[in-house]
């Protein structure tokens, strides 16, 4: 399961201030280079993390992957609210994608492209030509 391991503090504020609507907004996911270290205090907007995003090429295009079929649910068994969506995939073509160690999810509908949070892969991946990187069972938990 690819759970957003750390939420940005800016996301929490934007959610409370009703600037984010997870049921209606367009959420995007991007891949970060392997030197990126997410800071929940400082990495508040897309502009603040863009320098560490992978470059466009070899099957990866910056800012083009939209999360589809968002589902919001109340999970009383685990005392949380959660959002799930379809899996995402990148296919390397004409070269390798990466190395990458994390993905960032951001809200493309906010004025500042609010960073929601980070999925830390726990290791670095380089996707070789004709191979795929799948991020499955994406989940944002609010506990």
Sort strands 88-91 and 80-84 into parallel, antiparallel or unpaired.
unpaired
pLDDT at 58: 98
Is pTM beyond 0.85? Reply is yes
Over residues 24-28, the mean pLDDT reads 97
Comparing C-alpha atoms, which of 136, 128, 120 is closest to residue 97?
128
Q: 123: domain range?
A: 2-142
Q: Where does the pLDDT of residue 82 fall: very low under 50, low under 70, confident under 90, or very high at 90 and above?
A: very high
pLDDT at 4: 83
**CA–CA distance, 48 with 120 (Å, rounded to integer):** 17
% of the chain at pLDDT higher than 90: 96
Residue pLDDT, tens place only, 39-61: 999 999 999 999 999 999 999 99
**CA–CA distance, 140 with 27 (Å, rounded to integer):** 12
How many domains does the chain fold into?
Answer: 1
Over residues 21-34, the mean pLDDT reads 97
């Amino acid at each position: 399961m690819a759970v957003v391991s750390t939420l940005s503090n800016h996301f929490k504020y934007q959610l409370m201030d009703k600037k984010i609507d997870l049921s209606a907004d367009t959420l995007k996911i991007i891949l970060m280079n392997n030197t990126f270290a997410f800071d929940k205090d400082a990495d508040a907007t897309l502009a603040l993390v863009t320098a560490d995003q992978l470059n466009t090429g070899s099957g990866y295009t910056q800012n083009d992957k939209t999360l589809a079929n968002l589902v919001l649910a109340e999970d009383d068994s685990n005392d949380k609210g959660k959002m799930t969506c379809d899996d995402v995939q990148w296919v390397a073509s004409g070269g390798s994608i990466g190395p990458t160690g994390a993905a960032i999810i951001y809200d493309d509908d906010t004025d500042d492209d609010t960073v929601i949070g980070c999925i830390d892969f726990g290791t670095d991946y380089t996707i070789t030509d004709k191979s795929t990187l799948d991020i499955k069972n994406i989940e944002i938990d609010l506990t």
